[in-house]
Amino acid sequence: MAKENNKKKDIKDTKKKKKSNSHLMGKKEFIFDFISLVFALSVALYYGGRCFYYYSLQHQGKKNNSISLYDSIMDNNILVKTGDGFHKEKEGYYFKGNITNNYVWFGNRMFRVLSVDDEDKSVKLVSNDLVSIFMWGEEDSYEKSNIRLWLTNTGEDHTGLYYNTLPNQEKFIKKTNYKIDKLSDKTIDYGKEKYSDNVVSLTLDDYIKSGGKSGFLNNGKMYYLLGFNSDNENIYVEEDGSIMTCDKLDGYGVRAVITLRKKVMVTQGDGTESNPYMIDQGEDTNYVDSYVKLGDDMWKVMSENNGILKMYLNGYITIGGAEVVKPYSNKGNMFDYSTRGNIAQYLLNEYYNNLSYKDIIVNNNYPLGEVSDEVGHRYLNIYSNGFDGPISMLNIFDYVSNNELSDFFRNNVTSSIGNIQYVSYGNGILEESDITEQKHIVPVISIDSKSIKSGNGRMDNPYMG
pLDDT at 15 over 50: no
Eight-state DSSP code of residue 461: B
Note the pLDDT tens digit of each residue in 402-427.
Answer: 999 999 999 988 877 778 999 999 99
Residue 313, classified by CB atoms within 10 Å of its CB into exposed (0-12), middle (13-18) or buried (19+), is buried
Cα 167 to Cα 149: distance, rounded to the nearest angstrom? 19
Distance CA 222, CA 220 (A): 7
**What is the DSSP code (8-state) at residue 202?**
P
Strand, helix or coil for residue 161: coil
The CA distance from 311 to 357, in Å, is 14
Q: pTM of the full predicted structure?
A: 0.85
pLDDT band at residue 32 under the 50/70/90 scheme: very low
Amino acid at 228: F
The CA distance from 313 to 293, in Å, is: 10
pLDDT in tens, 240-294: 999 999 999 999 999 999 999 999 999 999 999 999 999 999 999 899 999 999 9
Mean pLDDT of the chain: 88
Residue 121's region, left for phi above 0, alpha for psi from -120 to 50, else beta, is left
Nearest CA to 142 out of 189, 208, 204, 186 is that of: 204
Q: pLDDT band at residue 8, thresholds of 50, 70 and 90?
A: very low
Q: pLDDT tens digit string along 190-204? A: 999 999 999 999 999
